[in-house]
């Protein structure tokens, strides 16, 4: 049976993922709070540091409950906190885990950061923890996210209609993608090649 995610730091060339803590809130707020473009498709919209602290506290409560493992994304070499991402839907009995609840400062959009974040999380899930399936999902109107997930090499599986309420009260359909362990070597190679060319 796969292992549960634990207190681990995952480091690459341009990012370091470390377990999210309240100590990250100030830097996260400076990088992302109040930016509608960053939060457009997420269930929350923290306008300031106080509201972002509540988002982080909820993530940490989920970690205690075992339903989510959140990370802070630190941009190297300086280590500035530029966002967060999580393992979700952690189900060792069925060998599946999800990557989601990802948000990034616009300062690192269209950079190597998100590519390396996914490489580190997928590698840890498949190679270290032993999962068979990694899921990714996104809002049906978030075309930028859908394109990014497809570029990973994930397989689009379908759409769950009226899957959840968005924060404005509208219905969100969730577009689901997955990567299986047998597909991971090709996905890893693709991500490493993208990182190599910058």
pLDDT digits (tens, 9 = 90+) for 101-155: 999 999 999 899 999 999 999 999 999 999 999 999 999 999 999 999 999 999 9
Tell me if 5 is assigned to some domain.
no
What percentage of the chain's residues is helix, strand, coil (to nearest 5)? 40, 30, 30
Q: How many domains does the chain have?
A: 1
Tell me if 1 is assigned to some domain.
no
Rounded Cα gap, residues 195 and 177, in angstroms: 22
Measured in whole angstroms, the distance separating CA 182 from the mean position of its chain's CA atoms is 21
Tell me if 113 is assigned to some domain.
yes
Quote the strand ranges of the chain, DSSP E: 10-11, 15-19, 68-75, 80-91, 96-104, 133-139, 155-165, 171-180
Tell me if 3 is assigned to some domain.
no
* Residue owning tokens 């996260």: 28
Residue 32, domain CATH: 3.40.630.30
Rounded Cα gap, residues 88 and 176, in angstroms: 14
Tell me if 4 is assigned to some domain.
no
Tell me if 181 is assigned to some domain.
yes
pLDDT at 110: 87
Tell me if 175 is assigned to some domain.
yes
List of the chain residues with pLDDT < 70: 198
Q: Tell me the residue range of the domain where 29 lies.
A: 10-196
Tell me if 90 is assigned to some domain.
yes
pLDDT at 197: 84
């Amino acid at each position: 049976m796969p292992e549960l995610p634990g207190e681990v730091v995952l480091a690459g060339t341009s990012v370091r993922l470390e377990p999210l803590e309240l100590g990250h809130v100030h830097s996260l707020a400076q990088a992302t709070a109040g930016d509608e473009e960053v939060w457009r498709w997420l269930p929350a919209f923290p306008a300031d540091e106080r509201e972002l602290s509540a988002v982080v506290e909820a993530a940490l409560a989920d970690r205690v409950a075992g339903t989510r493992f959140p990370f802070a994304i630190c941009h190297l070499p300086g280590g500035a906190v530029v966002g967060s991402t999580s393992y979700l839907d952690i189900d060792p009995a069925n060998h599946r885990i999800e990557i989601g609840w990802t948000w990034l400062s616009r300062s690192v959009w269209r950079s190597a950061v998100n590519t390396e974040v996914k490489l580190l999380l997928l590698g840890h899930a498949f190679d270290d923890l032993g999962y068979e399936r990694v899921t990714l999902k996104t809002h049906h109107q978030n075309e930028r996210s859908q394109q990014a997930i497809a570029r990973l090499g994930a397989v689009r599986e379908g759409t769950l209609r009226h899957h959840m309420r968005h924060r404005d009260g509208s219905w969100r359909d969730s577009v689901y993608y997955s990567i299986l362990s047998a597909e991971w070597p090709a996905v890893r190679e693709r991500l490493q090649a993208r990182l190599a060319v910058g």
